[in-house]
């Protein structure tokens, strides 16, 4: 499989190069030259197929010859070694829980897969690689955990000061070793901007081998589509295709969901559920794509004003808004609605959502009100304990902490403070 740059000015590369480069030299995102089509038989047998075997079938064509089968099987088994349960919340709404990994958010899958692929590709490498990653909250912890102690890899995480939750900050600042956290005076977009600038800085790139662990990287982006195959495997109404609501920020997760659909997965409709950062909902309504500054909300991992992966979605639909509209909607949910949803879903159905899942639940509910004969599931992207304050405020209850979180709370946070200033960031990278 070859990957081409969406800016169209760089040459196509293999999975390995796309992973190591992260972004093409012309600054474009990499995109697969073809979307593999899965056999009917694969879907007919899916209920009796193990998650590892499903993952292998789906991912194999994307990797090409860059990783031998035996090695890929090991990487996939390690990536997907926790459960992805689809739970019934009420008659028409299910929850796909993606928070059973080590840092309690869905980003563990992409981070684990990418770190293992990089570890394999860099096995005999002599020049150390620096992974730069901007985080709105959950990426940092997942990437820190995925890359912790991987030989030959230094990780630098940029996170916005005061805009990530306590548990999120602990997860990305307490590991040490090859993981360094930078606390930036700014928002997520500022962090992402600095990272993007570093990649095209010739002086810096002459000194360091830089790559990114954001969802722009194909190795983080592609394995996320497996969630939707695992959900279909468990979907109890096989004669009705589900409506799928995905809480969306940088649009990596939903873009991967759309890949699964192009590979043949049965889906009725996709909803990209957003918070007040509504660039995509506005685009769907008015046809004008206008990036904005991110605003802070209760679902902080989705506070993105210029979602990087939306361009991949447009590529899938050949830049046609009418075509996109046939299968995809985007709905914006306010903080007030988010809180009310958390409260209502807990009181009525005894199910506790995190704020991101609540945004997706609320958007799905709105959609189903207009399409009453449909059913669907929302994606519960993080464990509610990652957002203790928000959960407590919305529902009045304090969820019990898993033991790994209790241990985390006894650790000391270590980070370097950084102005929202590219030159300061560059100096730091040049000197470290
Ligand atoms: C990152 C994140 C999202 C948004 O995912 P994207 O792929 O960036 O759209 C949603 N929920 C949680 C909990 C996240 O950590």
Of 59, 141, 66, which is closest to residue 106 (Cα–Cα)? 141
Pocket test for ligand 1, best of 102, 107, 217, 256 (most atoms within 8 A of CB): 107
Helix (H) or strand (E) segment spanning residue 376: strand 376-380
Report which protein residue has its CA nearest ligand 1's atom 8. 250
For each of the chain's 432 residues, which pLDDT tens digit applies? 999 999 999 999 999 999 998 889 898 999 999 999 999 999 999 999 999 999 999 999 999 999 999 999 999 999 999 999 999 999 999 999 999 999 999 999 999 999 999 999 988 877 779 999 999 888 999 999 999 988 889 999 999 999 998 999 999 999 999 999 999 999 988 998 999 899 889 999 999 999 888 878 999 999 999 999 999 999 999 999 999 999 999 999 999 999 999 999 999 999 999 999 999 999 999 999 999 998 999 999 999 999 999 999 999 999 999 999 999 999 999 999 999 999 999 999 999 999 999 999 999 999 999 999 999 999 999 999 999 999 999 999 988 888 888 889 899 999 999 999 999 999 999 998
* Strands laid side by side in the 2-5 sheet: 13-14, 2-5, 30-32
Distance 301 CA to ligand 1 centre (A): 5
Q: Give distance in angstroms: CA of 11 to centre of ligand 1.
A: 30
- Residue 103: its pLDDT value, please? 92
Which residue owns the Cα nearest ligand 1 atom 1? 301
Quote the ligand 1 centre to 217 CA distance (angstroms). Answer: 15
Nearest alpha carbon to residue 405 among 176, 148, 141? 141
Pairing of strands 93-97, 30-32: unpaired
User: What per-residue confidence (pLDDT) applies to 196?
Assistant: 87
Tell me how far the alpha carbon of residue 248 lies from the centroid of ligand 1, in angstroms.
6
pLDDT value for 403: 84
Distance between Cα 123 and ligand 1 center (Å): 30
CA-CA distance, 59 to 132, in Å (whole number)?
Answer: 25
By most ligand atoms within 8 Å of CB, the mutation choice from 101, 249, 277 for ligand 1 is 249
At 330 the pLDDT is 98
Q: Atom of ligand 1 at shortest distance to CA of 354?
A: 13
Mutate to test the pocket of ligand 1, among 96, 101, 105 (most ligand atoms within 8 A of CB): 105
pLDDT at position 212 is: 86
Specify the pLDDT at position 200. 85
The binding-site residues of ligand 1, defined as CB within 6 angstroms of any ligand atom, are 105, 107, 137-138, 215, 247-253, 301-302, 356, 381-382
pTM, two decimals, is 0.94
- The reported pLDDT for the residue numbered 271 is 98
**DSSP state letter for 401:** P
Instruction: Give pLDDT, residue 115.
Output: 94
Q: Among candidates 279, 332, 288, 276, which has minimal Cα distance to 306?
A: 279
Give the integer Cα–Cα distance in Å for 393 and 363: 21
Minimal-distance CA residue to ligand 1 atom 14 = 301
Pick the atom of ligand 1 nearest to 137's CA.
15
**What is the per-residue pLDDT for 128?**
78
């Amino acid at each position: 499989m070859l990957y081409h740059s969406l800016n169209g000015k760089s040459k196509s590369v293999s999975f390995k190069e796309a992973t190591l480069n992260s972004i093409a030299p012309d600054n474009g995102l990499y995109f697969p030259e073809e979307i593999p089509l899965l056999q009917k038989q694969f879907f007919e047998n899916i209920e009796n197929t193990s998650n590892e075997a499903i993952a292998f079938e789906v991912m194999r064509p994307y990797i090409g010859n860059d990783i031998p089968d035996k090695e890929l099987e090991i990487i996939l088994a390690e990536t997907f070694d926790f459960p992805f349960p689809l739970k019934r919340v009420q008659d028409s709404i299910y929850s796909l829980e993606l928070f059973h990994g080590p840092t309690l958010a869905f980003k563990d899958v992409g981070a684990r897969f990418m770190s293992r692929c990089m570890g394999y590709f860099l096995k005999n490498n002599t020049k150390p690689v620096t992974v730069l990653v901007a985080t709105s909250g959950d990426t940092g912890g997942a990437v820190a955990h995925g890359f912790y102690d991987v030989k030959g890899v230094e990780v630098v995480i940029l996170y916005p000061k005061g805009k990530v939750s306590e548990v999120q900050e602990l997860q990305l600042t307490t590991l040490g070793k090859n993981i360094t956290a930078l606390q930036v005076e700014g928002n997520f977009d500022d962090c992402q901007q600095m990272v993007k600038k570093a990649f095209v800085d010739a002086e810096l790139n002459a000194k360091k081998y830089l790559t990114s662990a954001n969802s722009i990287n194909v190795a983080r982006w592609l394995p996320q589509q497996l969630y939707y195959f695992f959900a279909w495997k468990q979907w109890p109404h096989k004669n009705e295709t589900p409506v799928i609501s995905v809480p969306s920020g940088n649009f990596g997760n939903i873009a991967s969901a759309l890949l699964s659909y192009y590979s043949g997965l049965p889906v009725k409709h996709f909803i990209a559920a957003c918070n007040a950062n509504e660039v995509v909902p506005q685009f769907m309504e008015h046809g004008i794509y206008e990036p904005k500054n991110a605003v802070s909300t209760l679902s902080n991992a989705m506070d993105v004003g210029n979602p990087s992966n939306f361009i991949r979605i447009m590529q899938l639909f050949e830049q046609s808004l009418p075509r996109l509209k046939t299968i995809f909607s985007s709905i914006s949910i306010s903080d007030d609605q988010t809180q009310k949803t958390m409260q209502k879903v807990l009181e009525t159905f005894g199910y506790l959502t995190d704020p991101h899942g609540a945004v997706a639940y609320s958007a799905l509910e709105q959609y189903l009100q207009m399409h009453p004969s449909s059913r669907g599931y929302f994606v519960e992207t993080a464990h509610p304990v990652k957002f203790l304050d928000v959960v407590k405020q919305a529902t009045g209850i304090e969820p019990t902490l898993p033991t790994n979180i209790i241990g985390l709370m006894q650790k000391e946070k270590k980070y370097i403070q950084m102005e929202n200033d590219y030159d300061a960031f560059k100096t730091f990278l040049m000197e470290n």
